[in-house]
Amino acid sequence: MAVGIFDSGLGGLTVLDAAQARLPEVEFVYLADSAHAPYGVRTADDIFDLTCAAVQRLFDAGCDLVILACNTASAAALRRMQESWVPADKRVLGVFVPMIEALTERQWGDNSPPREVGVQHVALFATPATVASRAFQRELAFRAIGVDVEAQACGGVVDAIEDGDMILADALVRSHVDALRRKMPEPQAAILGCTHYPLMQEAFQEALGANVSVYSQAGLVGESLADYLERHPDKMGAGPGAFLTTGDPKTVSQRATQFLRRQITFEAA
C-alpha cells in the first residue's frame, strides 16, 4: 500500500514527514522533480505538463492517490488535471484544502453560504506562479466573506532552500515580510503558501511578530490525509515506498538528509 507525494523539489518533504508521523503504517512514494525546479516561475501550461508527467510516474509506481505537496502545482494545474486528465480510478489532491479548512474553521464538504470568520487581514506568502493564479483567494471566497488577502510573491526563497543556502533564505524572508507590511501593516494571520516555507517558519514568525498567527501546511495536510484514507481505504494503493527524483540522486539525497536530519536516499525516477 503506497500513497504518492509529489513536489517540484524538496519542500514537500515537510508534508511527507508529517504524514509519516501521523500514518506510520502507510508506505509513501515521494517524487521530487528536481530537474525542473522551481515551478514558481514557470507558465501554467508548463506546470500542468510537468505535473501530469510526475503524477503519471507515481501512478505507475502503484499509487492510486497522489498528494500535490506543491502549492504552485495545486494552484496552476490541479483543477485542470481533475477535470480533464486524472483517470476515474485515481485521485489527485492538493494542499490548499486543509489550509482553508483551518483558516475558516469549516470542513470542505460544508456547502453553506460564505460567512464571516475570525480573521479579516491575511498575508499570503507564496511563489510568483501561485500568487498569479489567485487560486487561494478564489477557494477562500467560496467559504468566507470580509477577508482581505494580501499576497507577496517570494522570489528566490525556494531556490535558496534548494541550494542549501539558509542564510540567503533567511534574508529573503525578512525582505519579503517587509514588502508585505508596506502593503498590509498589521496582518492578523499569515499563510505559508509553499511547502518549502515551513523550513523557514521561525524566520517568518520572527519577522512578522508574535501577534501574527502563522499557518504552516505540513501538519494540516497530514491530518487531512489521515481523514481521507479513513473514508477512502480503497485509495491506499500498492507497492513499496520509495524516494524518486528527476535530478541527481546523490545531490538530492544529501540535501534531503540535511532537511529532515535523517538519512534519505533517492533513486533516479
Inter-residue contact 90 to 53 (CB < 8 Å):
no
Give Cβ neighbours of residue 259 (< 8 Å, ≥ 6 apart): 10, 13, 14, 199
70 among known catalytic residues: yes
CA angle, 237 as apex, 10 and 25 as ends, to 5°? 70
Maximum C-alpha span of the chain: 50
Inter-residue contact 17 to 79 (CB < 8 Å):
no
Which grid coordinates are listed for 120?
Answer: 479579516
Decide: helix, strand or coil at residue 56: helix
52 among known catalytic residues: no
The C-alpha atoms of residue 225 and residue 6 are separated, in whole angstroms, by 14
The catalytic residue positions are 70, 194
